[in-house]
């Protein structure tokens, strides 16, 4: 018998340890370091991937119709250059036209300031703040040389940070465009092998549902890109009709500029604002506020109505989710976020529905033991 006075040696509690292979640690370290190094190229990589996925059917048709003597490198280079010109040339035209109109507008303002800038037509009749704006305009800008005096009082040093920010913005986006084109050429060359490897890794991670997720993401990307093109076309045509109805001078040019800049969110409003300023500074029969209101209304309908309606057919999301995906993606990733946002929400919705279906199958199996035994 054990002596009651003897003390039992306490047994240390068992602890559960998780042992991971050493390769996992080094692999994760390499992935983290790679992501850190390529962080500055994230937007360019996403833009190149989205462009390659959206234009891949066109590229395959283009490459199939080329002579056999032209290799893959040459076909990829030709298609990349053609696509770059097709995308950038209209945007360069829009920016050039906008700069030209801005120069003409500044010249008109300088000439008008010598005699005093008259209150724009219809400003007093604007609802709510129209009379207040007209009174402020009359007191600040209607007297000769008022604008020149106001600009002379402005501190030139305060404009330096704005100029630096604009320069950094321009250099940054030129950097993104250059590497997007370079990566796009690489993706056209190696796209088939990269897609096959990606699907193989995805099958290992997600199992039998991997191909469905990949196909869904591809359709969502193409639907989002198509929605951007449709919105630009809608904004150009609708604004052209609106400008022609109210009698805007050079309505076709302004409609083209508005539609092309509408490819980039909020840039279309810059074109509409420049048009309203030009109408305010020149003697025309078109009320500037009417042109401004119509242009903003067209852009609002394109961004908030046409884009989600067109995109929802491919991404299979309701209107509000497509809208939030576009706006949230643009806030996080910029222009490319307009495509990535709805795609991510589409994949999240598919993961949720797949999980619900799997749990429903488990519940049915647990409630019917005979089914599980027979299986």
What residue has token string 């990307």?
221
The confidence score (pLDDT) of residue 148 equals: 66
At 321, list the tokens.
């989710």
- Angle 109-113-119 from CA coordinates, rounded to 5°: 85
Q: Which of 137, 109, 112 is nearest to 124 (CA)?
A: 137
Biggest distance spanned by C-alpha atoms of the chain: 118
Query: What does 157-206 look like in DSSP terms, one character per residue?
Result: GGHHHHHHHHHHHHHHHHHHHHHHHHHHHHHHHHHHHHHHHHHHHHHHHH
* CA dist., res. 180 & res. 188, Å (int): 12
The confidence score (pLDDT) of residue 182 equals: 92
> pLDDT tens digits for 294-338?
889 999 888 878 877 787 766 667 777 877 887 788 888 877 887
As a whole-number percent, the residues of the chain with pLDDT over 70 amount to 79
> pLDDT tens digits for 92-133?
887 777 777 777 777 777 776 677 666 666 666 666 677 777
* CA dist., res. 119 & res. 340, Å (int): 45
Q: Which of 252, 244, 267 is nearest to 334 (CA)?
A: 267
Residue 15 has pLDDT above 50, yes or no: no
Average pLDDT along the chain: 78
**Percent helix, strand, coil in the chain (nearest 5)?**
80, 0, 20
pTM: 0.72
- Angle 72-77-83 from CA coordinates, rounded to 5°: 125
> pLDDT tens digits for 356-368?
887 887 777 767 6
Orientation of helix 210-246 relative to helix 288-301, angle to 10°? 160
The confidence score (pLDDT) of residue 86 equals: 86
* CA dist., res. 125 & res. 82, Å (int): 50
CA 353 from centroid of its chain's CA atoms = 27
- Evaluate whether 221 touches 231 at the Cβ level (below 8 Å): no
The confidence score (pLDDT) of residue 7 equals: 52
**Least confident span in 29-33, 292-296, 369-373:** 369-373
**Least confident span in 49-58, 133-142, 331-340:** 133-142
Instruction: Report which listed range, 206-210, 256-260, 329-333, 359-363, is most confident.
Output: 256-260
């Amino acid at each position: 018998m054990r002596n009651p006075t003897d003390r039992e040696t306490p047994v240390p509690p068992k602890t559960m340890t998780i042992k991971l292979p050493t390769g996992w640690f080094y692999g994760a370290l390499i992935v983290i370091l790679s992501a850190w190094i390529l962080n500055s190229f994230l937007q360019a990589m996403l833009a190149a991937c989205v462009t390659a996925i959206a234009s891949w059917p066109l590229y395959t048709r283009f490459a199939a119709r080329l002579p056999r003597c032209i290799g893959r490198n040459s076909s990829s280079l030709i298609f990349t250059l053609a696509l770059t010109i097709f995308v950038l040339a209209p945007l360069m035209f829009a920016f050039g036209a906008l700069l030209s109109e801005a120069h003409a507008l500044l010249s008109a303002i300088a000439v008008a300031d010598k005699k005093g800038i008259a209150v724009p037509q219809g400003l007093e009749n604007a609802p709510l703040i129209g009379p207040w704006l007209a009174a402020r305009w009359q007191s600040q800008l209607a007297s000769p040389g008022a604008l020149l005096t106001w600009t002379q009082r402005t501190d030139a040093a305060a404009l330096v940070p704005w100029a630096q920010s604009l320069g950094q913005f321009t250099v940054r986006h030129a950097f993104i465009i250059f590497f997007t084109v370079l990566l796009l050429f690489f993706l056209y060359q190696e796209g088939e092998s990269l897609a096959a490897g990606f699907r193989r890794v995805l099958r290992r991670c997600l199992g039998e549902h991997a191909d469905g997720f990949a196909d869904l993401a591809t359709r969502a990307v193409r639907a989002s890109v198509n929605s951007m093109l449709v919105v630009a076309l809608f904004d150009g045509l609708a604004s052209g009709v609106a400008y022609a109805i109210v009698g805007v001078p050079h309505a076709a040019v302004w409609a083209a500029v508005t539609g092309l800049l509408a490819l980039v969110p909020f840039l279309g409003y810059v074109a509409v604002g420049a048009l309203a300023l030009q109408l305010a500074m020149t003697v025309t029969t078109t009320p500037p506020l009417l042109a401004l209101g119509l242009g903003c209304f067209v852009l609002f309908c394109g961004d908030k109505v046409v884009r989600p309606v067109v995109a929802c057919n491919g991404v299979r999301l309701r209107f509000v989710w497509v809208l939030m995906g576009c706006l949230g993606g643009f806030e996080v990733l910029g222009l490319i976020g307009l495509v990535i946002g709805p795609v991510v929400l589409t994949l999240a919705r598919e993961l949720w529905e797949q999980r619900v279906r799997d749990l429903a199958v488990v519940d049915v199996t647990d409630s019917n033991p005979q089914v599980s035994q027979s299986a």
